[in-house]
Homo-oligomer: A and B are copies of this chain.
């Protein structure tokens, strides 16, 4: 088992390797002044099963190009198999032609990863489950939900509901609610008349006097979360929390968070974002142990199912919840 870190996931790989008590693979990346990226593997990988970890987010294009160069380098260095580990895959949002004459960018990325030589993909919380079908190679698709729920449970919140910020995320929100054994409410921007004034957000379901945890797969501007929180508040909710798998917050987004009525935002570390470190309203739950456990399970040729729906105790412990 040999795990290598692309430049966007060096910390993440350190955490994975700590969990597994192994050393990360030796390698290095350079970004040249004309914009080109260069990668070099610094140890023998001939006939090895290699895992290359590179998250795609915040600096997506540099990260993606670096990733396909890594794959090619491992392939030409005669690795036996190459598993691409993308804790976050930001282009997974670009999964359809929702207007004429645009690209289905997630499929383009999938094709590039495969043409470069990827043998398997390990990732987390893709924007839609159909994206697995963009790949011909096997995709192991982890969920942050069990771990995030465990964190929420560890916080001993009382009398709370799970809130979906829009109708489309309801199905996912219900899975959170089922794990947490609490009700679901739905935020919905659309009015039930035909004026379609989207500025009024309705909350479907009763939140009066209850706490609420808004769930979503990713946040960029914190806008939807803040708006939903405000609507929940107006509907009588008490304390409001939010939880997302992938956080891409800019300084401006953090200001939005600060000014919102969200008490705390729970995120994972799939995206390496120095801005969130130590932020008073943000708690980061590491999914690196979960990815490490997945890698170990793959190498032991066992089924990943057991970590899809629940959290192994040793992973829970390592995530320092």
**A residues at B contact (CB < 8 Å):** 32-42, 44-48, 57-66, 68-70, 72-73, 75-78, 90-91, 93-108, 111-112, 115-117, 120, 128-134, 136, 138-141, 161, 167-168, 170-171, 174, 177-178, 181-186, 188, 190-194, 196, 204-206, 220-221, 248, 250, 298, 301-305, 308
Counted per complex, copies of this chain come to: 6
**Contact A301 B47, CB 8 Å, known A94-B38, A167-B167, A170-B167:** yes
Give the top 8 A-B pairs by smallest Cβ distance, nearest first: A130-B130, A35-B60, A44-B303, A41-B101, A96-B129, A47-B301, A72-B103, A73-B103
A116, B214: Cα distance in complex, Å: 38
Of the candidates B69, B98, B103, the one whose C-beta lies within 8 Å of that of A105 is: B69
A100, B37: Cα distance in complex, Å: 17
Tell me whether B61 and A35 are in contact (CB under 8 A): yes
Tell me whether A129 and B167 are in contact (CB under 8 A): no
Tell me whether B78 and A138 are in contact (CB under 8 A): yes
Residues of B within 8 Å of A133, CB to CB, are: 95-96, 104, 106-107, 130-131, 133-134
Of the candidates B39, B112, B298, the one whose C-beta lies within 8 Å of that of A103 is: B39
Of all chain B residues, the one with the shortest Cβ separation from A39 is B103
Of all chain B residues, the one with the shortest Cβ separation from A206 is B192
Of the candidates B32, B61, B102, the one whose C-beta lies within 8 Å of that of A62 is: B61
Residues of B within 8 Å of A96, CB to CB, are: 128-130, 132-133
Tell me whether B204 and A68 are in contact (CB under 8 A): no
Tell me whether B46 and A99 are in contact (CB under 8 A): no
Of the candidates B41, B63, B171, the one whose C-beta lies within 8 Å of that of A167 is: B171
Tell me whether A39 and B205 are in contact (CB under 8 A): no
**Contact A46 B301, CB 8 Å, known A129-B98, A134-B133:** yes
Of the candidates B64, B68, B108, B308, the one whose C-beta lies within 8 Å of that of A72 is: B108
Residues of B within 8 Å of A174, CB to CB, are: 190, 196
Residues of B within 8 Å of A72, CB to CB, are: 103-105, 107-108
Residues of B within 8 Å of A140, CB to CB, are: 78
Residues of B within 8 Å of A221, CB to CB, are: 33
**Contact A134 B132, CB 8 Å, known A167-B167, A170-B167:** no
